[in-house]
Chains A and B, each alone.
Chain A
Amino acid sequence: GQQLNQSPQSMFIQEGEDVSMNCTSSSIFNTWLWYKQDPGEGPVLLIALYKAGELTSNGRLTAQFGITRKDSFLNISASIPSDVGIYFCAGQLGNTPLVFGKGTRLSVIA
């Protein structure tokens, strides 16, 4: 089925550093979402984007819906230890289930 290319696969960063991850698709979406999965839990929605070019923030998190509608990025500023987890991008076209990327595993070294 349809898949999203999410990168990087994993990241090891120092506490306080900024983080950037992105997601690309060969086809367009009209919704982009970013989820975070804590260890041993299910994914939880962080940010939802509904318009091409849209830039949305949620605290230290900022995400953008690419102008081509085929990509999105997520930035985390001033990382802290509790940012550890797996971050998933997800896309949707029309009234269909979400398609998820494979995730970016983030490790924060204190």
Chain B
Amino acid sequence: DAGVIQSPRHEVTEMGQEVTLRCKPISGHDYLFWYRQTMMRGLELLIYFNNNVPIDDSGMPEDRFSAKMPNASFSTLKIQPSEPRDSAVYFCASSLFLDRTTNEKLFFGSGTQLSVL
């Protein structure tokens, strides 16, 4: 399997523009997570899905952020309008289960480095 695939790897945009980050989870994984990494706050969970359904979006910072999972093999994280403070690395991760005995199945993508000027 190719692993979790994220695109683009890097995104540079201007304040006010719409940004869309994409993720393809590992085939067969039922759970998909979006994380944001910054120096100040480390790795923060934004939202996660189970079988394409959003389960907990309490980590989404503002209404400017939205995430969708239209099918089992694709998810997007959208920021509209983007602001400089959104600059961070955004990771997508997927897992087969959420059970504590199978944490080794949580796989991360390589991330999208977002810079909002």
Q: Which residues of A are at the interface with B, using a C-beta cutoff of 8 A?
A: 1, 6, 30-31, 33, 40-45, 48, 50, 88, 92, 94-103
Number of residues on chain B facing chain A (CB within 8 A) = 26
How many A-B residue pairs have C-beta atoms within 8 angstroms? Tell me: 61
CB distance from B90 to the nearest CB of A (A): 11
CB pair B42–A100 under 8 Å, yes or no, is yes
Inter-chain CA distance A33–B100, complex, in Å, is 10
A105 nearest in chain B by CB position: B39
Given contacts A41-B111, A43-B108, contact A31 B100 (CB under 8 A): yes
CB distance from A65 to the nearest CB of B (A): 12
CB pair A100–B43 under 8 Å, yes or no, is yes
CB distance from A37 to the nearest CB of B (A): 8
CB pair B103–A33 under 8 Å, yes or no, is yes
CB pair A95–B42 under 8 Å, yes or no, is no
- Chain B residues closer than 8 Å to A94, beta-carbon distance: 100
Inter-chain CA distance A40–B98, complex, in Å, is 26
User: Considering residues A43, A88, A101, which has the most beta carbons from chain B within 10 angstroms of its beta carbon?
Assistant: A43
CB pair A97–B41 under 8 Å, yes or no, is no
Inter-chain CA distance A32–B26, complex, in Å, is 24
> What 7 A-B pairs have minimum CB-CB distances, sorted nearest first?
A42-B108, A102-B42, A100-B43, A31-B100, A95-B98, A43-B108, A42-B91
